[in-house]
């Protein structure tokens, strides 16, 4: 896979995180109302946590964590490694950011890989994340798993959803599918 990935949407660029993004990411992710819905993100979230994440990304899938960049401002992160994961700074909620960003990443993955299925999940009560996933065409798998939520230091149920390539392609061909077409 390519290391210098750049995916464009109508409003955003999805690009690799860099050390220069650290202050922005820490400011957005050091918010318990964001971190509480994520599995591996600690709270408080520090620069050392961000640097550790960058080191992890340098040795794994380059699609594992892409900055959602709007004119040089990081709004959140979206990634696929091996499941779709994402978070968005609270001040950016309600603008359709994640749906647009995740759509672009999913389109890119299905266009450039032979992956046939993308998984994801959400904690009970995370209605915004569920709305993003179902809006993208993810379906309930009927499966749940136990996950540890680091920020709250508790075990939590993770509701599993899945999106098939066939479902994505069928939805993407629909004239009423309101996602912008990404330019890779």
What are the residue ranges spanned by the domains of the chain? 7-173
**3-class DSSP state of 77:** strand
In terms of C-beta distances under 8 Å and separation of at least 24 residues, what long-range contacts does 82-87 make, across chains too? 82/119, 83/118, 83/119, 83/120, 83/121, 84/118, 84/119, 84/120, 84/133, 84/163, 85/38, 85/120, 86/129, 86/132, 87/29, 87/34, 87/37, 87/38, 87/41
pLDDT by residue for the chain (184 residues), tens only, comes to 456 789 999 999 999 999 999 999 999 999 999 999 999 999 999 999 999 999 999 999 889 999 999 999 999 999 999 999 999 999 999 999 999 999 999 999 999 999 999 999 999 999 999 999 999 999 999 999 999 999 999 999 999 999 999 999 988 777 666 554 444 3
Whole-model pTM: value is 0.92
Pick the CATH number of 7-173 from 3.90.45.10, 2.40.110.10, 3.40.630.30, 3.30.465.10: 3.40.630.30
């Amino acid at each position: 896979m390519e290391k210098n990935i750049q995916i464009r949407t109508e409003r955003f660029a999805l690009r690799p995180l860099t050390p220069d993004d650290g202050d922005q990411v820490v400011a957005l992710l050091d918010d318990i109302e964001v971190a509480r819905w994520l599995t591996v993100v600690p709270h408080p979230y520090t620069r050392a946590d961000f640097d550790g994440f960058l080191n992890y990304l340098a040795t794994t899938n380059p699609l594992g964590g892409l900055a959602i960049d709007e004119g040089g401002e990081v709004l959140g992160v979206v990634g696929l490694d091996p499941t779709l994961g994402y978070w968005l700074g609270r001040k950016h909620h309600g603008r359709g950011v994640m749906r647009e960003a995740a759509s672009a990443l999913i389109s890119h993955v299905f266009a450039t890989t032979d992956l046939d299925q993308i998984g994801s999940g959400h904690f009970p009560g995370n209605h915004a994340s569920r709305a993003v996933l179902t809006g993208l065409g993810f379906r309930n798998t009927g499966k749940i798993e136990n996950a540890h939520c680091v920020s709250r230091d508790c075990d939590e149920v993770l509701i599993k959803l899945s999106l098939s390539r066939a479902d994505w392609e069928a939805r993407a061909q629909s004239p009423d599918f309101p996602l912008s077409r990404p330019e890779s």
